[in-house]
């Protein structure tokens, strides 16, 4: 017991640091939402009541940004977990050079977001000299100007490419931790590949899918660099998510009050998601 | 008969799996290939698969003093933020793993929940605080933010590693009268060194690839490679081959670190839920 008391203080620095890191910005953000505060007009700073809220909540771009955020997160989650499951089952089979092939599949995850985005923008999706344009021309189709025609879809493709390896690796770890005796027994009982997946593999993946969903959501809610270097949120606001909208308000229009209201919306959205996800996560926690 | 069937099956699986793997890795492989092309080959409408490889792009990028400057920023910020975060994370994870109390579980979950906050939620306050403390566009500032952002992940990952150290080993080696700090330093660190190393690798990878704070808090002086590469997004900078060379150099160290730590990556990023 005395040992516990003696070592308790070792936990304090981390707790204090994380507490300050999470609480100071939040309090400041709430404070700013009630202020008239534009960095370009330092003389006109003052209490502004609910004006920022009224202004922002009547601004259709906020709803478009929320909508885009939800679509981006949802689509990338569906794509990465869907394809990731298929890939995990494929890589659970025995084949030659499996180790090297796995490294190839993992590579996109380790590429920094700005490189991935520029690589896709310039070398894959460029309507003239992109590789996809070449593929389209070779099969007699007209190349697509991806970022003009389907900006949000393009970003979903890029981000899915970045996060597929993570979903794959997590699900593969889960599939491989399934003991082979159970699989063998099911096969002996005459289970075909579909029954095998439905009754043996799928139920075993629940925990891995919950964890993947949570971690990916954390990072996907904050997607920024990919939009910054490709579409800058455009055309119009077609590919603006909440992160980019707040950046736009704060560091391009210098409207601290407006940015803070949008930030509060982002925080509420994240917390709604967190509430639901943390509950399923706490169940899996074995302390 | 059964054996040859098995071989046929394995060969078929090999073909399918390798095709899939190559398609997924293709953009990355294409980037590396392009970095060895001339600029005209790089922007050709019909892609060159066979060409005489050249190192001129790498030489050109290296000659720019600025590249090394940004690379140095990346190294300092990612390694520095990791070491700084470890100073907080190791004692914290140690306490929770070996002297758990009733509140340990909720403390761990609370730490995880701080990671739930999207970074942009803190952008405005952090930007203004940094402006007032003259931390904008400094390596110190970015290092601090990266350390704080990664702290929950480090604590969780170390916690799961420390939990695996058998208590008996720790009890047996426990010296009479040695305080918790000595025990941590003399006993636990040597025992769990592999775990600490892979935790550090993951933190370095995350900090190296971190783009949001780099793009918003730094400019010419303290920008790491993530921000440097982003400056090529304007159409004026369209030198595909040189951009590819610069990008390849920026991602190479992390591809190697990632390959080394792939086994621990899942455990680290899923906060120990999947291992």
B236 vs A34, which has greater pLDDT? A34
- What does pLDDT average to over chain A? 84
In 3D, which of A224, A119, A107, A230 has the Cα closest to residue B243? A119
Give CA–CA dist A145/A151, Å, rounded.
9
Q: Looking at residues A255-264, what average pLDDT do you find?
A: 83
> Is the preceding omega at residue B248 within 30 degrees of 0, hence cis?
no
- Model confidence at B46: pLDDT above 80: no
Query: Do you know the residue count of chain B?
Result: 275
* ipTM of this complex prediction, to 2 decimal places: 0.87
User: Model confidence at A213, in pLDDT bands (50, 70, 90)?
Assistant: confident
Select the more confidently predicted residue: A223 or A275: A223
| Nearest chain A residue to B259, by CA | A103
Residues 42-71 of B with CB under 8 A from A: 43-47
B94 CB-near residues (< 8 Å, 6+ apart): A7, A10, B158, B162, B180, B184, B188
> Where residue B133 falls among pLDDT bands split at 50, 70, 90?
very high
| Per-residue pLDDT at A287 | 44
Q: Name the more confident of B153 and B166.
A: B153
Position with higher pLDDT, A52 vs B65? A52
DSSP state of A35: E
Residue that wins the pLDDT comparison between B85 and B239: B85
The more confident residue out of A234 and B126 is B126
Taking an 8 Å cut-off on Cβ atoms, the answer to whether A114 and B230 are in contact is yes
Q: Is B159 on the interface with A (CB under 8 A)?
A: no
pLDDT at A1: 44
Instruction: Answer for the pair A269, B117: CB distance below 8 angstroms, yes or no.
Output: no
Question: Which residue among A107, A173, A260 sits closest to B274, beta carbon to beta carbon?
Answer: A173
Q: Which of residues 75-114 of A touch B (CB under 8 A)?
A: 87, 90-91, 93-98, 101-114
Across A72-76, A252-256, B63-67, the highest mean pLDDT is recorded for A72-76
Q: What is the pLDDT of residues A36-90, one digit of tens each?
A: 777 777 777 777 777 778 877 888 888 898 899 999 999 999 999 999 999 998 9
Confidence of residue B2 (pLDDT cuts 50, 70, 90): low
Query: Alpha-carbon distance A164 to A81, whole Å?
Result: 7
Mean pLDDT value of segment B62-76: 86
- pLDDT at position A3 over 80: no
- Per the listing, tokens 């060379």 go with B245
Instruction: Sort B70 into a burial class: Cβ within 10 Å, 0-12 / 13-18 / 19+.
Output: buried
Q: Which residue has the higher pLDDT, B3 or A177?
A: A177
Quickly count: other Cβ atoms within 10 Å of residue B39's Cβ.
16
Q: Looking at residue A73, what is its pLDDT?
A: 93
The confidence band for A280, taking pLDDT boundaries of 50, 70 and 90, is low
What pLDDT sits at residue A74?
94
Average the pLDDT over B72-101 and give the result. Answer: 91
Partners of residue B118 in chain A, C-beta under 8 Å: 218, 221-222, 242-243, 266-267, 270
Nearest Cα of chain A lies from the Cα of B11 at a distance, in angstroms, of 7
User: Which residue, chain included where needed, has tokens 């792009």?
Assistant: B57
Residue B118 at interface with chain A, using a CB cutoff of 8 Å: yes
Contact A259 B152 (CB under 8 A): no
Chain A CB contacts of B257 under 8 Å are 110
Q: Which chain B residues have a beta carbon less than 8 Å from that of A80?
A: none
Contact B115 A251 (CB under 8 A): no
pLDDT band at A189 (very low <50, low <70, confident <90, very high): confident
Q: What is the mean pLDDT of residues A212-240?
A: 87
The pLDDT score that the predictor gives to residue B20 is 94
Residue closest to B98 by CA, chosen among A173, A27, A11, A22: A11
* Average per-residue pLDDT for chain B: 84
Q: Does position B48 have pLDDT exceeding 60, yes or no?
A: yes
- pLDDT tens digit sequence for A91-131: 988 888 888 998 899 999 999 999 999 899 888 888 888 88
Calpha distance A279→B195 (Å, rounded): 28
pLDDT at residue B275, rounded to an integer? 67
Percent of chain A scored above 90 by pLDDT? Answer: 23
pLDDT of residue B174: 66
Q: Residues B204-250: pLDDT tens digits?
A: 999 999 989 999 898 888 889 889 888 877 655 558 888 888 899 98
**Per-residue pLDDT at B175:** 60
* Lookup result for tokens 């700084």: B84
What is the pLDDT, as a whole number, of residue B190?
82
pLDDT of A286 > 60? The answer is no
pLDDT mean over B81-94:
93
SS3 A255: strand
- Say if residue A232's pLDDT is above 60: yes
Q: Which of A53, A8, A50 is nearest to A265 (CA)?
A: A53
């Amino acid at each position: 017991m005395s040992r516990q008391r003696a070592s308790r203080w070792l936990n304090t620095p981390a707790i204090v640091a994380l507490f300050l890191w999470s609480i100071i910005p939040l309090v400041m953000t709430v404070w700013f939402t009630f202020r008239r505060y534009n960095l370009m007009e330092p003389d006109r700073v003052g209490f502004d009541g609910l004006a920022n809220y009224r202004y922002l909540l009547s601004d259709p771009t906020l709803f478009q940004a929320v909508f885009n955020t939800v679509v981006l997160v949802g689509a990338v989650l569906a794509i990465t977990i869907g394809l990731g499951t298929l890939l995990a089952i494929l890589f659970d089979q025995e084949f030659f050079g499996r180790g090297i092939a796995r490294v190839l599949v993992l590579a996109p995850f380790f590429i920094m977001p700005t490189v991935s985005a520029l690589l896709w923008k310039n070398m894959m999706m460029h309507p003239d000299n992109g590789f996809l344009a070449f593929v389209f021309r070779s099969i007699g189709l007209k190349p697509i100007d991806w970022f003009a025609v389907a900006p949000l879809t393009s970003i979903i493709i890029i981000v899915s490419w970045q996060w597929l390896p993570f979903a794959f690796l997590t699900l593969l770890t889960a599939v491989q931790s399934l003991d082979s005796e159970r699989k063998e027994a099911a096969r002996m009982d005459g289970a075909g590949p579909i029954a095998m997946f439905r009754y043996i593999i799928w139920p075993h993946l629940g925990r891995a899918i919950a964890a993947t969903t949570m971690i990916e959501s954390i990072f996907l809610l904050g997607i920024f660099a990919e939009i910054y270097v490709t579409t800058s949120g455009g055309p119009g606001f077609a590919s603006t998510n909440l992160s980019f909208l707040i950046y736009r308000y704060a560091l391009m229009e210098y409207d601290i009050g407006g940015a803070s209201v949008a930030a509060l919306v982002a925080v509420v959205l994240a917390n709604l998601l967190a509430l639901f996800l943390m509950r399923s996560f706490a169940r899996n926690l074995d302390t | 008969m059964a054996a040859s069937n098995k071989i046929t099956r394995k060969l078929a699986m090999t073909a399918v799996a390798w095709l899939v793997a190559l398609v997924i890795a293709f953009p990355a492989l294409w980037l590396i290939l392009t970095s060895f092309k001339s600029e005209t080959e790089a922007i050709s409408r019909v892609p060159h698969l066979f060409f005489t490889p050249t190192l001129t792009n790498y030489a050109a990028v290296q000659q720019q003093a600025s590249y090394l400057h940004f690379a140095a920023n990346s190294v300092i910020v990612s390694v520095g933020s990791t070491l700084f975060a470890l100073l907080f994370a190791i004692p914290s994870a140690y306490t929770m793993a070996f002297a758990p109390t009733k509140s340990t579980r909720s403390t761990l979950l609370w730490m995880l929940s701080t990671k739930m906050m999207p970074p942009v939620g803190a952008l405005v306050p952090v930007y203004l605080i940094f402006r007032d403390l003259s931390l904008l566009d400094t390596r110190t500032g970015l290092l601090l933010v990266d350390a704080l952002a990664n702290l929950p992940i480090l604590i969780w990952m170390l916690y799961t590693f420390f939990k695996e150290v058998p208590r008996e080993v720790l009890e047996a080696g426990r010296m009479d009268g040695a305080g918790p700090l000595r025990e941590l330093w003399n006993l636990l660190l040597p025992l769990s060194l592999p775990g600490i190393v892979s935790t550090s690798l993951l933190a370095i990878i995350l900090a190296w690839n971190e783009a949001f704070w780099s793009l918003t808090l730094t400019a010419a002086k303290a920008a790491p490679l993530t921000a440097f590469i982003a400056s090529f997004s304007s159409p004026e900078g369209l030198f595909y081959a040189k951009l590819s060379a610069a990008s390849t150099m920026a991602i190479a160290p992390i591809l190697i670190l990632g390959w080394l730590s792939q086994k621990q990556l899942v455990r680290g990023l899923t906060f120990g839920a999947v291992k």
